[in-house]
Amino acid sequence: MSSAGRRPVTDLALSGAHFGSKVIEERGAVLRRLRRTDSLFRVATRTAAYTVLLILSGVILALMIGAWPALSTLGIDFFITQDWNPVTEKFGALAPVYGTILTSLIAMAIAVPVGILIALFLTELCPMWLRRPIGIAIELLAGIPSIIYGIWGLFVFAPFLQQTLQPFLIALFGPIPLLSSLFAGPPYGIGMLTAGLVLAIMVLPFITSVSRDVFDAVPPVLKEAAYGMGCTTWEVFSKVVLPYARVGVIGGVMLGLGRALGETMAVTFVIGNAHKISASILAPGTTISATIANEFTEAVGDIYTSSLIALGLLLFVITFVVLAIARYMLLRIERRIG
Amino acid sequence: MKHCKSLIVAGMLAASVAAAQAADISGAGASFPYPIYTKWADAYKKQTSVGLNYQSIGSGGGIKQIKAKTVTFGATDAPLKGDDLSASGLVQFPMVMGGIVPVVNVDGIKPGELVLDGPTLAKIFLGEIKTWDDAAIKKLNPGVKLPSQAIAIVHRSDGSGTTYNFAYYLAEVSADWKSKVGVNTSLQWPAGIGAKGNEGVANNVANTKGSIGYVEYAYAKQNKLSHTNMINKAGKNIAPNSETFQAAAANADWKSQPGYGVILANQPGDNSWPMTAATWILVYKQPQDAAATAEALKFFDWAYRNGGKMADELDYVPMPAGVVKAVENTWATEIKDGSGKPIFSMTN
């Protein structure tokens, strides 16, 4: 290659396998052909990229058109009431929005610390021979279809919770004023808490595997230096590994949150599908995606169908806001680190 | 040579599949009659080699699909009103009937042991009766030992014809239900948890101690759930079975509603099960594809004539002969092809 060092690129192409035997007069034609394939390539990649934008705006547009009859009829009531009455055609999105956010928060409250701790154990403390089995088990969790989580949640997990955790929580917090209403009510087994717990298990692999990868990417020399100065494992983790890897960890958390917000089948099975905002997290509730999955096929009448599409639009907006917040946080952290 | 043969075989297979598909009757709608429609379709295909492609997507879906003309017939558990039928040019007729039963999961209560009446059932589902040892339930069940357990209500979370018929009955017997909740395929439930489909309600009741739900009778039987008996309009204690469903149907005046849209809830008669329900078929008066509709009507005619025993086996109730005759008369007079010729002619 060094012999071709100073020659122009076209000459390189000409002396390559395809054009090797071409005479100098044909150079123009060859060049034109090169330019044509090059611009064709450019157009193809650009089209692919623009298609994404086109599809995205198409989806938003379709959702808006679909949601319009409901939004124009129900107005602001759609956003601030929790009525969901197909008989009188009064629809309010508050209960599903509340359920979506609450179940995701429960899921993140459990999955984030547990996921990070698992990742920490795997990268810092775990004996080598155990690393692969645990890592593979975590990744397998991510591979289980959500319907399986739903069936397991309904048949195994919910009856178990009804007989163990829920009576325990009710008895434990019963005498405490504020917390008693948070954990009130008959133990149904299924409900917001159950949905949150199932979601926590579902998003755990996302948070764990992303965190593990970014913890692995921390330069060993940093950790070794810290250990050399006499830091404990906790100090190394909290002062060196976590600050170094936090951008990645936040990315993993947001990935998990995105899944928790949109998860449909597993939640539908265990949340109880009640259009109601209850103070108690043991009570049945509903989420946006569960409502749509449950009711869309049987929704009769324009306003009903349109309200469900409006719910879809709302979920789109919520997901977008969450992603935007994540981007903003990443940007701030990056800027601070400089 | 070998390859040649297998190619020919493959070609023949493909051709036969294509032929079979071309002749299939397409329909979509209610899930309540899905088991019996598929059973009929199996038997019909063996006799005539004409198959049925029925998508059990729910009554609302069935109405949407037939209005979009993507299927030859739609099926619904909640009958369309007369003006809706005439506006969309559809003919509606009942195909088969079944029963809806309350199911309970209370320790020590065996199937049929508990008795409820309409107003009490409505109060339970309104959330006004909260425990199993409530005075209203005790009064109806003097000999039964009832725990002081909270009642967990399980209802359908998806829109459903079963819900429509159940709510219709509760609205008939309770003014409170009529004014507070109303009647529809999906409702704003005052209390309880929602589960998807008859099977979802059955599973939730089976899994939740102290629960009560409502399902199509076959699901209660298959899941070995404890159904309750009901006090009917005549004041009699009735157990759900095909005889009491049939008794409810026998007393109905089918001609009283356009499109035979009679709800069989709370029918008079000593032996009538109060939550009996019919399910309907929708076809166009002037179908775009007259041949396909003719095939569908042939299938329905066959099912009316030969499907009774199969319906019995699955705890559905076949339509009485008088109703069948009236329905077929409607077909012969109202359903026509592009040139105005009737598609169906009565054979007897």
CB spacing of A273 vs B209 below 8 angstroms: no
Say how far apart CA A122 and CA A117 lie, in whole Å. 9
Distances (CA, A) of A228 to A68, A150, A238: 64, 48, 16
Task: Tell me the average pLDDT across B119-124.
Answer: 95
A244-264, pLDDT tens digit by residue? Answer: 888 889 888 988 998 899 898
Domains B2-97+278-334 and B99-255 share a fold: yes
Closest by Cα among A69, A90, A73, A68 to A81? A90
CB spacing of B194 vs A286 below 8 angstroms: yes
Task: Tell me the average pLDDT across B313-320.
Answer: 87
Establish if B158 touches chain A: CB-CB under 8 angstroms. Answer: yes
Q: Is the dihedral of CA A119, A116, A261, A153 positive or negative?
A: positive
Calculate the average pLDDT of chain A: 87
Task: Tell me the average pLDDT across B140-165.
Answer: 89
- DSSP class of residue A240 equals I
Place of tokens 């009757």: B25
Q: Give the A-side interface with B, CB within 8 Å.
A: 83-88, 154-155, 158-159, 162, 186, 188-191, 268-269, 272-275, 284, 286, 290, 294-295, 297-300
> Which among B61, B150, B210 is the nearest to A298, CB-wise?
B61
Say how far apart CA B331 and CA B324 lie, in whole Å. 11
Confidence of residue A14 (pLDDT cuts 50, 70, 90): low
Q: Which residues on B lie below 8 Å from A295 (Cβ)?
A: 157-159, 186
pLDDT at site B16: 52
pLDDT at site B174: 94
Is the model's pLDDT at A321 over the cut of 50? yes
Count the alpha carbons within 13 Å of A241 in the hemisphere toward its beta carbon.
27
A301-319, pLDDT tens digit by residue? Answer: 789 999 999 999 999 999 9
CB spacing of B158 vs A154 below 8 angstroms: no
Q: Which two tokens stand for residue A83?
A: 């009525």
Q: Which residues on B lie below 8 Å from A84 (Cβ)?
A: 188
The CATH classification number of B2-97+278-334 equals: 3.40.190.10
Place of tokens 């002969």: B321
Confidence of residue B18 (pLDDT cuts 50, 70, 90): very low
Domain boundaries, chain A: 1-74, 76-337
What is the nearest CA distance from B109 to chain A, expressed in angstroms?
Answer: 19
pLDDT at site A326: 81
- B225 residue type, one letter: L
Say how far apart CA B287 and CA B284 lie, in whole Å. 5
Task: Tell me the average pLDDT across B287-302.
Answer: 91
Q: Are B241 and B125 in contact (CB under 8 A)?
A: no
Q: Are A153 and B195 in contact (CB under 8 A)?
A: no
Closest by Cα among B294, B317, B298, B297 to B307? B317
- DSSP class of residue A145 equals -
Name the CA dihedral angle for A262, A264, A270, A275, rounded to a multiple of 10 degrees: 80
pLDDT at site B3: 59
State what percent of residues in chain B have pLDDT above 70.
93
Say how far apart CA B237 and CA A223 lie, in whole Å. 79
CB spacing of A294 vs B157 below 8 angstroms: yes
pLDDT at site A13: 56
> Which among A159, A191, A297 is the nearest to B57, CB-wise?
A297
Say how far apart CA B227 and CA B201 lie, in whole Å. 13
Name the CA dihedral angle for A181, A183, A186, A187, rounded to a multiple of 10 degrees: 170
Say how far apart CA B161 and CA B82 lie, in whole Å. 18
Calculate the average pLDDT of chain B: 87
Higher per-residue confidence, A330 vs B120: B120
Domain boundaries, chain B: 2-97+278-334, 99-255
What CATH class has A76-337? mainly alpha
Q: Which residues on B lie below 8 Å from A272 (Cβ)?
A: 193-194
Q: Which residues on B lie below 8 Å from A268 (Cβ)?
A: 157, 196
Task: Tell me the average pLDDT across B294-322.
Answer: 90
pLDDT at site B52: 92
Is the model's pLDDT at A99 over the cut of 80? yes
Say how far apart CA B261 and CA B80 lie, in whole Å. 7
Is the model's pLDDT at B246 over the cut of 60? yes
Contacts of A278 (CB under 8 A, 6+ apart): A185, A192, A284, A285
Place of tokens 């829109």: B159
Q: Which residues on A lie below 8 Å from B57 (Cβ)?
A: 297
Q: Output the pTM of the full model.
A: 0.78
CB spacing of B63 vs A300 below 8 angstroms: yes
**Residue B54 main-chain phi, psi, to 5 deg:** -110, 120
Say how far apart CA A159 and CA A157 lie, in whole Å. 6
Task: Tell me the average pLDDT across A161-186.
Answer: 86
Q: Which residues on A lie below 8 Å from B159 (Cβ)?
A: 86, 295, 297-300
Q: Which two tokens stand for residue A283?
A: 């009570």
Q: Are A288 and A312 in contact (CB under 8 A)?
A: yes
A114-145, pLDDT tens digit by residue? Answer: 999 999 999 988 898 999 899 899 889 888 99
Higher per-residue confidence, A3 vs A76: A76
Q: Is the dihedral of CA A240, A245, A247, A249 positive or negative?
A: negative
Closest-approach residue (CA) in chain B for A162: B208
A187-203, pLDDT tens digit by residue? Answer: 888 899 999 999 999 99
Confidence of residue B229 (pLDDT cuts 50, 70, 90): very high
Closest by Cα among B209, B214, B287 to A188? B209
Identify the H or E element spanning B26: strand B25-29
Question: Looking at the domain B99-255, which fold is it?
Answer: D-Maltodextrin-Binding Protein; domain 2 (3.40.190)
Say how far apart CA B240 and CA B52 lie, in whole Å. 30
Confidence of residue B59 (pLDDT cuts 50, 70, 90): confident
> Which among A159, A186, A290 is the nearest to B152, CB-wise?
A186
Q: Is the dihedral of CA A256, A262, A266, A267 positive or negative?
A: positive
Confidence of residue B1 (pLDDT cuts 50, 70, 90): very low
pLDDT at site B7: 56
Count the alpha carbons within 13 Å of A148 in the hemisphere toward its beta carbon.
8
Say how far apart CA B341 and CA B322 lie, in whole Å. 25
